A and B are shown apart, each in its own frame.
Chain A
Amino acid sequence: MLSQLARLHTRRAWIYILSLTILAVLVIPVLNRAVPKDSVFYLPDYLISLCGKFLCYALVALAMDMIWGFSGILSLGQGVFFSLGGYAMGMHLMRVMAGEGVYRSQLPDFMVFLDWKELPWYWLGFNHFWFTVLIIILVPGLLALIIGFFAFRSRIKGVYFSIITQAMTFALMLFFFRNETGFGGNNGLTDFKRILGFSLQEPAVKVGLYIISALVLLISYLLCRYITMSKLGRVLAGIRDAESRIMFSGYNTLHYKLFVFTLAAVLSGVAGALYVPQVGIINPSEMQPANSIEMAIWVAVGGRGTLVGAVIGAGLVNAAKSWFTVAFPNLWLYFLGVMFIGTTLFLPRGVVGLAAILAKKKLTGRDSLQMIDSE
């Protein structure tokens, strides 16, 4: 098992991964918790939440990269899976604080607002954490399985698949926007108090959530890495590059595509579930079609078809967004727009591709793009 794991990367790459992990789960928390507040090295609390958020985005980007970068299927529904996971977590957080809401009612506040007398059936069970975890995995997974099954069976691909998933996104967004649906309408779920008995306002809990996100990201990364290195991963790449050839070679591409689509949905759902306690709100605007497109853009900026690229892309775009919206509130959309156009025009392989090109110039004469494919 361990030797299998070790084979995923070269030793040098492992050293980098481990040192980054240590930086993320040890150094950053220590800088926040143990360093005095007036020190230069002190990391303020808001940066911890911010980093935690980026890690969740990175997880979604990883999922997006699996489905798009490695399998060539552009799903514009990742935002929905992300939100479904988030809603499940949000519902759990709402349930465990029953009686502590504004109206001191056993029901969530918005239901009191709407004059509902009892909990709808689909809210039952969410007071148990294990049930919630199950839902976080099952609901996005099953939805992807169903949509994927029908879509892939009808051989819907390319742009058509993107549009169908976008239609799904839009329909679900409208559905969640309705107040009658019972998920809090436009406001969504917010004002959470506790997770597993720990107060969400506590800085230590925030650091904890951040560390969990980092670890989940690491495990998911290794899982995805394992898949892409395996035969399964090569079939997926084959589907991306020449689907009919793979079919003629006797593979049932439906199964492979379904697997990766479902995996991506589950990963997104988990990301959403981790995201919600850290940002403190989940509402239907997370399902806006634009958000799903943005997720694709993170991957494109980082570098499609490289898992590291997806993670870097998510971090880079969101960090840029975070910084620009304060530094240039009037002009930040320009930076973002130029970033997207520039990446697609000049960096078809994203930032990682750029790094590869730079490395190539220094070291070898080999085609840099090939290098990434063969990594």
Chain B
Amino acid sequence: MTRKHLPSIFILITMSLLLLTGPAIQAVKAEDTIKVGILHSLSGTMAISETSLKDVALMTIEEINQRGGLLGKKIEPVVVDPASNWPLFAEKARELIDKHKVAAVFGCWTSVSRKSVLPVFEELNGLLFYPVQYEGEECSNNVFYTGAAPNQQAIPAVEYLMSKEGGGAKRFVLLGTDYVYPRTTNKILRAFLHAKGITDADIMETYTPFGHSDYQTIVTSIKDFSAAKKTAVISTINGDSNVPFYKELANRGIKAENIPVVAFSVGEEELRGIDTKPLVGHLAAWNYFMSIDTKENKEFIKKWQDYVKKHNLPGGDKRVTNDPMEATYIGINMWAQSVIQAGTTDVNAVRQAMGYQKVKAPCGFDISMDAKNHHLHKPVFIGEIRADGQFDIVWKTPGPIRAEAWSPYIPDSAKKVADWTYPWVCGNCTAPKYK
């Protein structure tokens, strides 16, 4: 290396080090706001689903600020983009808690992103609100799960399909994208179906890779499989692959009357990308639908549409609300209530206050947080797709049902108890910690 340009290189390296440390030095400032982190992918493959959640979180925070904020302070959202990159989720989570000192984080969509940030939240004692339906089998003291556990979505849907009204299905195709949520859900469902007397011969389980777009072969095998008995498809296909799947179904003339498909990851937002006329009658199970006819929901939708208009968000008046958006909305409101009740944003105090917290949710029910397992009590709705991309609600539970963090249908997890109150104080124990 010649000597001439060495100084410049040295300066460069030092500068890049400074670039790194610079923001850290800035961060030490007087705190006149309450900071909360928003950890949703705004780019990469998951941006398609997660951007709406960021928007609805900002809307909810704006609403609380307009009411005067919390404890006399405004909430200041810190939005970061983990770019659908799972290690980056962990890095950003650490940055939010360590550098920005956020009081709580609202974020994550995929299970893998949640698994990636989980050790960070436990290590730094942060607070994560996770708004998406997921596979369960987890209960952290640092996470509040505002989406559905499998027993709040999958099992009621299958029960409906087996009922006379749902078509009395005798055979089931469990079709999913190959990752943890479909795998676990299908495992639970298989055990559940066995319990209902359906044998393995009448269950077909198939997985496709992420982003799979050619469903010709699979639709054919579904059709062949359905020749013997009344068949229903239970789809845990991930967002992106749903369009090609439904298009293939529609074009092959498979109607919901013959082979109904019930999906757990298809909501109003996903249907926006599909021509729904040929899909009329296919089902989805959620804890919220935009078409729910309640006063609270009308207000929620109006707020959202006003927010979209005011901030000129892409999509304009075509933007819809969906289940994870409602879950985000509930989560932030519940957190705000807890902060007011605790009188501080201290994580331990807020966590204590979260238990049994209740909000009147857009779905029309009083939704409460379970102090024991950190999951919401949620009602289940089953909707049939309409030609306009909305859902007709054809079935619902009489009231909210409690989440089972550990499924009783998986032998290893059936023994486990998730209970963060005395004397258990444990998310995955078989005996109380304090006897």
Contacts and interface: CB of A to CB of B under 8 A. Distances in A.
Given A13-B1, A191-B118, A329-B79, A308 B9 contact: yes
B148 to A, nearest CB: 19
B28 A38 contact: yes
A328 to B, nearest CB: 9
B2 interface: yes
Contacts of B179: 177, 179, 185-187
The prevalent SS among residues of A at the interface is helix
Interface in A1-54: 9-10, 12-13, 16, 20, 23, 38, 40, 43-47, 49-51, 53
Given A46-B94, A49-B91, A190 B9 contact: no
A358 B98 contact: no
Contacts of B9: 16, 308, 312, 352, 355
B90 A40 contact: no
A177 B212 CA distance: 13
B10 interface: yes
Interface size class of B (residues with CB under 8 A): 35 or more
A360 interface: yes
B24 A191 contact: no
Contacts of B138: 102
A44 B293 CA distance: 50
B20 A355 contact: no
B30 interface: no
Interface string A134-159: 00000000000000000000000000
A323 interface: yes
A103 B428 CA distance: 8
Given A44-B98, A308-B9, A312-B9, A322 B184 contact: no
A214 to B, nearest CB: 12
B336 interface: no
Nearest to A191: B119
B43 interface: yes
A233 B205 CA distance: 54
A220 interface: no
A185 B17 CA distance: 36
B210 A355 contact: no
A178 interface: yes
Contacts of A286: 87
Nearest to A329: B81
A213 interface: no
Contacts of B88: 325
B115 A191 contact: yes
Contacts of B118: 190-191
Interface in B84-122: 85-88, 90-92, 94-95, 98-99, 111-112, 115-116, 118-120
Interface size class of A (residues with CB under 8 A): 35 or more
Interface string A349-361: 0011001101110
B13 interface: yes
Given A186-B178, A359-B4, A371-B2, A312 B13 contact: yes
B112 A46 contact: no
B83 interface: yes
Contact of B116 (A115, A281, A352, A363): A281
A105 interface: yes
Contact of B119 (A20, A190, A323): A190
B81 A113 contact: no
B115 to A, nearest CB: 5
A279 interface: yes
B50 to A, nearest CB: 11
23 contacts: A43-B24, A44-B99, A47-B20, A49-B94, A115-B187, A177-B179, A177-B210, A192-B119, A201-B123, A280-B90, A281-B115, A285-B85, A319-B19, A323-B23, A326-B78, A330-B81, A332-B81, A355-B12, A356-B8, A358-B5, A358-B8, A368-B5, A375-B1
Interface of B: 1-10, 12-13, 16-17, 19-21, 23-25, 28, 42-43, 78-83, 85-88, 90-92, 94-95, 98-99, 111-112, 115-116, 118-120, 123, 137-138, 178-180, 183-184, 187, 207, 209-210, 412-413, 428
In the A-B complex, list the 6 residue pairs whose CB atoms are closest, starting with the nearest: A359-B5, A355-B8, A186-B179, A329-B81, A46-B98, A46-B94
Given A46-B98, A319-B16, A319-B20, 17 more contacts: A16-B6, A50-B95, A103-B428, A114-B183, A174-B209, A178-B178, A179-B178, A186-B179, A191-B115, A201-B119, A280-B90, A280-B116, A281-B86, A315-B16, A330-B81, A332-B81, A333-B43
